[in-house]
Copies of this chain bind each other. A is one copy, B any other.
Amino acid sequence: MTDLETMKLEFELEKKRRLLSAAAGREPAELVLKNASYVNVFSNELCTCDIAVTDGVIAGLGKYAGREEIDMGGKIVCPGFIDAHIHLESSLVSPSEFVKAVMPNGTVTVITDPHEITNVLGTDGLEYMLQATENLPVDVLFMLPSCVPATALDESGANLNYKAIEPFYGNPRVLGLAEMMNYNGVTEGEEGVLKKITAAQIHRKKVDGHAPGLGGNELNAYIASGVGSDHECSDLGEAVEKLQRGQYIMIREGTAAHNLEALSPLLSGGYADRCMLCTDDKHPSDLLEKGHINYIIKKAISLGASPIRAVMAASFNAAQYFQLNDRGAIAPGYLADFTVIDNFESFKIEKVYKRGKLMYDGEMREFSAPAIEQRLLKRAHNSFRVSPLKEKDFEAQIPLGVIGIVPGEIITTDCGLAEKPDVEKDILKIAIIERHKNTHHIGLGYIRGYGLKQGAVATSISHDSHNVIAVGTSDAELAAAVNTVVDRNGGIVVVRDGEVLGELALPVAGIMSDDTLVNVNRALEHAKARAFELGVSTQIDPFMTLSFMSLPVIPVLRLTTRGIYNVVERKYM
């Protein structure tokens, strides 16, 4: 045992003595939830008794007196909810702001993959997120990004092999390797990919999956490699095939992907214990309007799931998968993380306790945001390396491919080649500007279906490398929009004639704001309205649509810093 471990032993011993005194009834517990009907995740039923808590841990179930006693008669106490997979950055706000939004929805633990910020800042991004989430009242646990860059076509801010992420496994909040998107690399036995998986296993950590549509023997290979979960199923049969082969399934219901309706039958079947809930991404308005994991539970119940099975998926099952033995259940020795609801029908969140502390009861309790070291703050706020652009940087010398937008989908169509833009016919120029290393790599192409009639729109959120992507009605407008984003060290802008009509500043790595969620949402909605005024089709989200145009894994056409790429034919046009 190291000196540190010996110190920890002494510390834990003292805590344990207090806990056992309360448990055995030798002294009153700090907090007792009296007459609590609670979800017993071990037997899938409601039980009723007192729940005693000391030092943030459940001391006992039974009959107890406490220094503080809260009558829970008529309420239902659930283990606090867990989001099994989210990219926190998608909320566009700091983790502290995110916590303020999700805790009133009953969330007490999230497992995040800081894939976005790591694509910008490399392991500094990972470190930034670890520091930004330290000791928050929602436990933020990590899976290490497995695919930075996402593909070989990407020009991201970093290129991480297994050795680069290696030191982070020592952090107790790191649970494993995040979604292994390169499933072909796995099944084909690519060395770099297998090294990442094997290293995670050597550290006895989990490996999350991401393999939409994978089945048959390829799926066997993917799972045999050590990938333990999947959150990409949109089809019941696909999910069952993965479950049968031993994967856990994360039922995803977030802002971009909605799989609950297809997958909710799982919560009533033989595999119910092997399912958890996740959001993958939650944008500001979605967080504010719908809620978080509570929204998924409620919807699952409305789709016919047993309420207890749904709550288990949102708590115990995720804890089991991640081997978080201290949470997800209400029993002695578990963390006193409770989400108290009125009943399973209206499912109103009345109180949320984290480690025995009341954090929400209609109002969110104050907490302090963790300090982030200066070096990282500076690095995150200065992530752009792009020299000012001029009109002629956007000039097209040859005919370019035309990406067709499909409203409501992230797939695109191949609309052939165009000689030049034509605003009247809705053929607009789209550009992506490498922004991490000042390479002056600029990818150009055309896009149809965006609808813009004046000005330009630009954003530094573009998956997964987060270069600057822009659509404009002229090269001058494009240059102005992109330069504005770079000037601001990141953000979303709507410009016309050199005037910024709407904007959301995203100064943290170009993908997150320093402002509150409400303000971010307001600025975003304002910018969106301006974009619509300039003609953007109201059938699409002006910014999210752009942010997916750079993801060279979704058919058919995408724009990379090297030009228009045909994903199906695997070649540049």
Query: Which A residues form the contact surface with B (CB < 8 A)?
Result: 1, 5, 8-9, 12-13, 16-17, 19-21, 23-25, 40, 42-45, 47, 52, 57-64, 163, 166, 186-189, 191, 194-195, 197-199, 201-202, 216-218, 220-221, 223-226, 243-246, 269-271, 273-274, 320, 323, 329, 331-334
Q: How far is the CB of A42 from chain B (nearest CB, A)?
A: 6
Bound CA span A283–B195, Å: 47
Least CB distance from A39 to B in Å reads 12
Instruction: Find out whether the CB atom of A13 lies under 8 angstroms from the CB atom of B194.
Output: yes
Are A244 and B202 in contact, with the CB atoms below 8 A?
no
Pairs A-B, 6 closest by C-beta atoms: A60-B220, A246-B331, A43-B270, A23-B221, A224-B332, A24-B221
A246: B residues at CB distance < 8 A: 42, 329, 331-334
Residues of the B chain whose Cβ atoms lie less than 8 Å from the Cβ of A52: 220
Asked if B44 and A270 sit within 8 Å, CB to CB, the answer is: yes
6 A–B contacts, CB within 8 A, in A order: A20-B188, A24-B218, A42-B271, A224-B332, A224-B333, A320-B320
Rounded to whole angstroms, the CA-CA distance of A197 and B225 in the bound complex is 34
The closest CB in chain B to the CB of A247 belongs to: B331
Q: How many copies does the complex hold?
A: 2
**Interchain CB contact under 8 A, A20 and B217:** no
- Residues of chain B contacted by A199 (CB below 8 angstroms): 1, 9
- What's the least CB distance linking A165 to chain B, in Å? 11
Q: How far is it, in angstroms, between the C-alpha of A221 and the C-alpha of B187 when the chains are bound?
A: 48
Separation in Å of the A299 CB from the closest CB of chain B? Answer: 24
Given contacts A57-B224, A58-B224, are A198 and B244 in contact (CB under 8 A)?
Answer: no
Measured in the bound complex, the distance between the Cα atoms of B43 and A271 in whole Å is 5
B59 in contact with A220 (CB, 8 Å): yes
Nearest Cβ on chain B to A333's Cβ, whole angstroms: 5
Residues of chain B within 8 A of A62, CB atoms compared: 216-217, 220
Q: Is the CB of B244 within 8 A of A17?
A: no
Set of chain B residues within 8 Å of A221, measured between Cβ atoms: 19-20, 23-24, 59-60, 332
Given contacts A16-B225, A60-B217, A245-B331, could you give 8 more A-B pairs where the C-beta distance is less than 8 Å? A13-B198, A16-B198, A24-B187, A47-B244, A59-B220, A60-B221, A64-B217, A221-B332
Of the listed residues A19, A43, A64, the one surrounded by the most CB atoms of chain B closer than 10 A to its CB is A43
> Quick one: closest B residue to A240, CB to CB?
B43
A20 x B270 contact (CB < 8 A)? no
Q: Closest chain B residue to A11 by CB distance? A: B198
Taking CB atoms, residues of chain B closer than 8 Å to A8 are 202
| Alpha-carbon distance A533/B24, docked complex (angstroms) | 52
Contact A20 B331 (CB under 8 A): no
Q: A224-B60, A271-B42 are in contact. Are A189 and B21 (CB under 8 A)?
A: yes
CB < 8 Å: which of B12, B25, B201 contacts A12?
B201
Contact of A19 among B43, B224, B331 (CB under 8 A): B224
**Would you call B186 and A20 a contact (CB within 8 A)?**
yes
Give the interface centre of A42, A52, A57, A186 by most chain B CB atoms within 10 Å.
A42
A333–B43 touching, CB < 8 Å: no
Contact A166-B1, Cβ < 8 Å, known A60-B221, A224-B57, A246-B42:
yes
The answer to whether A331 and B43 touch across the interface, beta carbons within 8 angstroms, is no
